């Protein structure tokens, strides 16, 4: 198992070498691009999203890893130190996988979409060929340094370790911002791109909205994944101290996840507004036309996430003595979340396009049976949706207030919790990844029949917008493979450490009893 | 549990009746009923006795993943969908629009270059010919053209903001177009599509100022798509629906519009053979060597756009640099100089025996062969049209 771990560590290096050699390939975009059996679009979709999911994880996790390392150091709380330590182990494994899929992604781009790729590379040359590779090397050095110096840089040198962690986050975020420039350009390119400076290209209308949205979403995601890692370890744990620790870790991960999740609504809204302002027909395509049911799905996912998140708080409270008096209020809260979600997912009409399909014989009847009448139309508009979102956020917030009030008065033991709570944690991570896959698809599909909106049409036969049914299949597959990979990372990063006590980097001096 | 189920049932029935009474269509009421039962299940879960630790944690985690996946997958398939075949057909139509757009742009550039070089633009017939055609011979547009225009209207999603026959964007984003043929001239409609700033639709001053109507169609639509769209819009003359008048953006005064009595012809660009009626197989028709439209058509043939079964660029290369070893290299001026018109024609029509160069005469018309030759003749000059000197 050490061998696998070492093997994975070599991956980023290998990818870099391949990248540089592959970089020459784009210079000569071949005319007949490669076509792969399952369809080029499916391949690029699958690999790109997988890479993105992993990248979100390795960017998001370190943010709160460092924060909890700092808290642990400040308050001398060994649990925070251990949480940070363990999540780092998982992150390092996932880092190699991210690089692996990133390399794969670039090869597919060069092979299957040489024209777009070379266009973008030329336009963003300094980012692609300088910032990205250099950033990638620095990030790799930092993350391995951060991981391997953990035990050595304790005590007086702890500060240096924390500084390394902070740098790791800064570099990672910069890399993401660089790539966001390209991703957002493809959706909202500035009109006069030929004469634009690099900065103008980068700072296109949706760059900042995307940056902020992704930054916060990565924290959410890191939190939920942390909760899931904890939940899995909790369920697999054999001893009470283990269970106590992982129970606590799940609580922290979920707390960070839900908290930043609630903050996501606003940047998401701003992102959408910017798209409308850039070109209303893009926004309409997303919210009212072909992609409208994708947003139904998003509503369902977010609604269930609030519901299950609140359920987790509920189970956390039930083990606190004397917390019963909050139970009725909590139940009302659940009712409110459900009501809010019912409003949230009420669409203008229950069909997937702006107009009834051409094949419908009696369009008037079709509409009458499926569309909100005028006096109820307000339910489909933004004010209603915003109120619903706000209500859900408020309920979760109040639930946490109840929790912290009860914990002051009552007593509780970490590790004694209804195991369903752990499945709630797993669901939250699962829904987060599914939602990312869904919104990733939306962001790509919103460009309609363009590789780069209005600049480069997509002339392949696969340029059409797939149905949500098909997208669901893709997203589900991607999500499952992602979790298989995270499972692998957990196993390599944590389970093998538990199983092999001789590995010298296991003993964390500060952790005390839990590893004894 | 039974008792709570009955309570849920009562609540659900009440929700169903009330929402129906308020005016929700049934499908919405059913969704609300669904929510009631989800709520009921959730209450059961809240009050359920704590579960025992799962005996086989790994297995139960995997099962949980699969379960969650299946549920999301099913929901994704359960909500309404559209027919992907229609989407694919639409993409095919848009492909040809984009290719034509690209060709038109190239042709324009070519023409500009030639004019800049002081060359006579022989028989210049730009694809955007409607204005000229309108002036030349007013005739009613064909029903096919109008139908094609309706497809363009739908493919480019004008319905998102405009209504025709009451159908289209629910929110009042833009004016109803039912009587657009009655209040606007064909030229104004065309101008508005290509540049929304040309006039204000009365009553939509705010939207005009915010730039709601996209200014991107001039980049997106091929000339013949615009022609068809204009023909379709001009055919809409239902005066029972109010379509706003055009206002001058500078003065705010109504624009003077000569509303065409006979709807203007739009399809002039469809088939416009540019020159010489008599076309033989010995010589390039008069003027074709340098005619940008002929060259543009030749490019379509050369690149397999005109007929997918014939794609010269697959062997001779898109830019003339052979892709297939052994294929003739038309960037070589000597090779071109060595071919007479007749030889050139014969080799394309009848092929070169025992080589991959097959006889394309069966798949191309005589005109197309001359067109592709005219295009091939531009490789050795770096893209400049030039009269071939070996007749």
Q: B206: buried, middle or exposed (CB in 10 Å: 19+, 13-18, 0-12)?
A: exposed
Q: Look at residue A14 in the predicted model and tell me its pLDDT.
A: 64
Assess if residue B263 is contained within a domain: no
How many Cα atoms sit within 13 Å of A156 on the Cβ side? 0
Q: What is the pLDDT of residues B163-182, one digit of tens each?
A: 998 887 766 789 999 999 98
Which of B204, B235, B255 is the C-terminal boundary of a domain?
B255
User: Which band of pLDDT confidence, cut at 50, 70 and 90, is reported for residue B9?
Assistant: very high
Whether B308 is in a domain gets the answer yes
The domain total for chain A is 1
For residue range A441-495, what is the model confidence (pLDDT) as tens digits? 999 999 988 999 988 888 888 888 999 999 999 999 999 999 999 988 888 887 6
Q: Which residue of chain B is at minimal alpha-carbon distance from A313? A: B46
Q: Give yes or no: residues B148 and B223 share one domain.
A: yes
pLDDT at B127 over 50: no
Q: Do A376 and B314 touch (CB under 8 A)?
A: no
pLDDT confidence of residue B77: 93
B295 lies in the same domain as B360:
yes
- Contact state of B87 with A465 under an 8 Å Cβ cutoff: yes
| Domain final residue pick, B78, B98, B115 | B78
Model confidence band, residue B131 (pLDDT cutoffs 50, 70, 90): very low
pLDDT of residue B233: 95
- The pLDDT confidence band at residue A76, using thresholds 50, 70 and 90, is confident
Give B23's contacts in chain A (Cβ within 8 Å).
373, 375-376
Using CA coordinates, name the residue in chain A closest to B92.
Answer: A461
B287 to chain A, closest Cα gap in Å: 32
DSSP-assigned states of every residue in B178-194: TTHHHHS-HHHHHHHHH
Position A145 confidence tier, pLDDT thresholds 50, 70, 90: very high
CATH of the domain at B366: 1.10.760.10
Per CB-CB distance under 8 Å, the chain B contacts of A318 are 50
In a domain, A3, yes or no: no
Give the closest-approach CA distance of B178 to chain A in angstroms: 17
* Optimal mutation site among A193, A294, A330, A342, interface B, most CBs of chain B within 10 A: A342
Using a CB–CB cutoff of 8 Å, tell me whether A383 touches chain B.
Answer: no
Q: In terms of DSSP H, where are the helices of A279-326?
A: 280-287, 292-318
**Is B160 in Cβ contact with A288 (below 8 Å)?**
yes
Comparison of pLDDT for A504 and B210, the residue scoring more: B210
Confidence tier at A114 by pLDDT (50, 70, 90) = confident
CB B91 to CB A449 under 8 A? yes
A26 occurs within a structural domain:
no
The set of residues, in sequence order, having a beta carbon less than 8 Å from that of B318 and lying 6+ positions away, is A31, B303
Are the beta carbons of A434 and B72 separated by less than 8 Å?
Answer: yes
Residue B132 has pLDDT above 60, yes or no: no
Q: What is the mean pLDDT of residues A371-395?
A: 88
Q: Mean per-residue pLDDT for A387-415?
A: 88
B-chain CB neighbours of A297 within 8 Å are 75-76, 79
B244 with B178, same domain?
Answer: yes
Which of the 8 DSSP states describes residue A492? I
Is pLDDT of B189 > 60? Answer: yes
The CA distance from A343 to A334, in Å, is 14
Question: Domain of A261?
Answer: 37-354+365-497
A31 and B25 in contact by Cβ < 8 A? no
Whether residue A261 is predicted with pLDDT greater than 70 in this model: the reply is yes
Confidence at residue A439, expressed as pLDDT on a 0 to 100 scale:
94
Residue A242 sits at the chain B interface (C-beta within 8 Å): no
Helix, strand, coil % in chain A, rounded to nearest 5? 80, 0, 20
Total structural domains within chain B: 3
Task: Please give the Cα distance from A230 to A499 (Å, whole number).
Answer: 17
A336: in domain: yes
The pLDDT score that the predictor gives to residue B336 is 87
Q: Find the distance separating the first CA and the last CA of chain B, reported in whole Å.
A: 96
Nearest residue in chain A measured CA to CA from B322: A31
Same domain for B333 and B231: no
**Closest Cα in chain B to A381:** B171
Cβ–Cβ gap A464/B73 under 8 Å? no
What pLDDT shows up at residue A6? 65
In a domain, A511, yes or no: no
pLDDT-derived band at A15, boundaries 50, 70, 90: low
Residue A507: per-residue pLDDT: 35
Confidence of residue A502 (pLDDT cuts 50, 70, 90): very low
Say yes or no: A341 contacts chain B, CB-CB below 8 A: yes
In a domain, A147, yes or no: yes
Collect all residues of chain B within an 8 Å Cβ-Cβ radius of residue A281: 157, 160-161, 214, 216
A458, part of any domain: yes
Is A297 part of the contact surface with chain B (CB cutoff 8 Å)? yes
Tell whether B69 is covered by a domain. Answer: yes
Percent of chain A with pLDDT over 90: 46
A439 — contact with chain B (CB < 8 Å)?
no
Q: How many CA atoms lie within 13 A of B178 on its CB side?
A: 12
pLDDT confidence of residue B123? 45
Do residues A154 and A509 touch, judged by C-beta distance below 8 A?
yes
Min distance A132 CA to chain B CA atoms (Å): 32
Give the ipTM of the model, two decimals please.
Answer: 0.87
Q: What percent of chain B has pLDDT over 70?
A: 88
Of B25, B35, B87, the CB nearest to A368: B25
A307 touches chain B (CB under 8 A): yes
Question: Taking the CA atoms of chain A, what radius of gyration do you get in angstroms?
Answer: 24
User: What span, in angstroms and rounded, lies between the C-alpha atoms of B241 and A240?
Assistant: 76
The model's confidence at residue B278, banded by pLDDT at 50, 70 and 90, is: low
Let me know whether B293 and B359 are in one domain: yes
Q: Is residue A22 part of a domain?
A: no
Do residue B231 and residue B180 come from a single domain?
yes
Q: Residue B241's domain spans which residues?
A: 141-255
Residue A222 C-alpha, separation from nearest chain B C-alpha, in angstroms:
19
Among A68-72, B116-120, B139-143, name the one with the lowest average pLDDT: B116-120
pTM recorded for the entire structure: 0.76
If asked whether residues B320 and B367 sit together in one domain, one would say yes
């Amino acid at each position: 198992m050490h061998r696998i771990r070492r093997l994975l560590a070599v991956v980023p290096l290998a990818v870099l070498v391949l990248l540089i050699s592959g970089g020459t390939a784009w210079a000569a975009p071949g005319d007949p691009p490669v076509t792969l059996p399952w369809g080029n679009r499916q391949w690029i979709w699958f690999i790109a999203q997988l890479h993105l999911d992993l990248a979100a994880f390795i960017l998001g996790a370190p943010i709160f890893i460092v924060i909890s390392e700092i808290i642990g150091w400040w308050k001398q709380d060994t649990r925070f130190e251990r949480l940070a330590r363990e999540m780092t182990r998982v992150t390092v494994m996932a880092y190699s996988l991210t690089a692996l899929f990133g390399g794969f992604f670039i090869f597919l781009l060069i092979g299957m979409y040489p024209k777009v790729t070379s266009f973008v590379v030329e336009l963003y040359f300094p980012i692609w060929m300088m910032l990205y590779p250099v950033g990638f090397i620095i990030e790799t050095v930092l993350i391995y340094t951060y991981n391997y110096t953990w035990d050595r840089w304790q005590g007086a040198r702890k500060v240096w370790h924390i500084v390394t962690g902070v740098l790791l986050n800064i570099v990672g975020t910069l890399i993401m911002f660089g790539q966001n420039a390209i991703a957002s350009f493809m959706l909202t390119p500035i009109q006069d791109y030929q004469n634009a400076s690099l900065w103008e290209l980068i700072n296109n209308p949706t760059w900042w909205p995307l940056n902020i949205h992704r930054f916060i979403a990565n924290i959410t995601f890191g939190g939920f994944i942390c909760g899931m890692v904890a939940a899995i370890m909790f369920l697999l744990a054999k001893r009470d101290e283990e269970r106590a620790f992982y129970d606590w870790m799940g609580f922290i991960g979920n707390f960070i996840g839900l908290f930043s999740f609630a903050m996501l609504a606003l940047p998401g809204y701003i992102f959408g507004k910017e798209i409308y302002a850039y070109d209303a027909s893009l926004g309409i395509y997303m919210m009212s036309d072909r992609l409208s049911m994708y947003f139904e799905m998003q509503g369902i996912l977010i609604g269930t996430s609030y519901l299950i998140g609140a359920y987790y708080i509920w189970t956390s409270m039930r083990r606190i003595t004397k917390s019963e008096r909050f139970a009725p209020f909590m139940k009302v809260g659940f009712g409110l979340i459900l009501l809010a979600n019912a409003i949230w997912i009420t669409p203008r009409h229950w069909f997937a396009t702006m107009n009834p399909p051409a094949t419908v014989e009696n369009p008037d009847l079709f509409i009458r049976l499926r569309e909100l009448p005028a006096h109820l139309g307000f339910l489909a508009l933004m004010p209603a949706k915003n109120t619903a979102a706000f209500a859900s956020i408020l309920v979760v917030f109040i639930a946490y207030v109840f929790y912290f009030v009860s914990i002051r008065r009552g007593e509780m033991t970490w590790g004694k919790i209804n195991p369903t709570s752990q499945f709630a944690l797993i669901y939250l991570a699962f829904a987060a990844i599914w939602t990312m896959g869904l919104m990733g698809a939306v962001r790509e599909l919103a460009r309609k029949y363009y590789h780069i909106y209005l600049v480069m049409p997509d002339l392949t036969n696969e340029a059409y917008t797939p149905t949500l049914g098909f997208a669901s299949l893709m997203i589900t597959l991607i999500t499952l493979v992602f979790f298989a990979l995270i499972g692998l990372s957990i196993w390599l990063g944590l389970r093998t450490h538990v199983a092999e006590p001789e590995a010298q980097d296991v003993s964390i001096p500060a952790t005390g009893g839990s590893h004894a | 549990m039974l008792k709570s189920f009955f309570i849920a049932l009562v609540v659900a029935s009440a929700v169903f009746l009330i929402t129906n009474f308020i005016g929700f269509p049934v499908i919405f009421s059913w969704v609300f009923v669904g929510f009631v039962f989800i709520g009921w299940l959730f209450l059961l879960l809240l009050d359920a006795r704590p579960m025992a630790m799962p005996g086989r944690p790994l297995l139960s985690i995997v099962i949980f993943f699969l379960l969650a996946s299946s549920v999301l997958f099913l929901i994704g398939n359960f909500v309404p969908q559209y027919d992907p075949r229609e989407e694919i057909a639409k993409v095919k139509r848009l492909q040809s629009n984009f290719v034509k757009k690209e060709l038109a742009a190239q042709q324009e550039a070519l023409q500009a270059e030639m004019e800049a070089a002081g060359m006579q633009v022989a028989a210049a017939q730009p694809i955007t010919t409607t204005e000229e055609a309108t002036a030349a011979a007013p005739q009613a547009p064909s029903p096919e053209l109008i139908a094609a225009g309706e497809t363009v209207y739908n493919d480019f999603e004008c319905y998102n903001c405009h209504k025709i026959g009451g159908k289209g964007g629910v929110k009042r984003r833009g004016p109803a177009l039912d009587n657009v043929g009655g209040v606007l001239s064909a030229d104004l409609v065309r101008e508005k599509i290509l540049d929304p700033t040309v006039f204000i639709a009365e009553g939509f001053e705010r939207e005009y100022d915010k730039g709601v109507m996209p200014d991107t169609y001039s980049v997106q639509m091929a000339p013949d798509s615009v022609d068809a769209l204009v023909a379709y819009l001009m055919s809409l003359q239902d005066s029972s629906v109010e379509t706003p008048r055009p206002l001058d953006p500078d003065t705010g005064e109504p624009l003077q519009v000569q509303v065409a009595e006979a709807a203007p012809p739009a399809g002039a660009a469809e088939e416009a053979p540019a020159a010489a009626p008599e076309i033989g197989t010995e010589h390039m028709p008069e003027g074709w060597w340098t005619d940008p439209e002929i060259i543009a058509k030749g490019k379509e043939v050369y690149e397999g756009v005109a007929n997918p079964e014939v794609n010269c660029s697959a062997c001779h290369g898109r830019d003339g640099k052979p892709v297939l070893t052994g294929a003739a290299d038309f960037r070589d001026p000597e090779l071109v100089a060595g071919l007479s018109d007749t030889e050139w024609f014969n080799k394309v029509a009848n092929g070169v025996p025992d080589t991959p160069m097959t006889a394309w005469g069966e798949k191309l018309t005589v005109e197309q062969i001359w067109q592709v030759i005219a295009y091939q003749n531009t490789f050795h000059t770096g893209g400049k049209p030039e009269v071939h000197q070996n007749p």
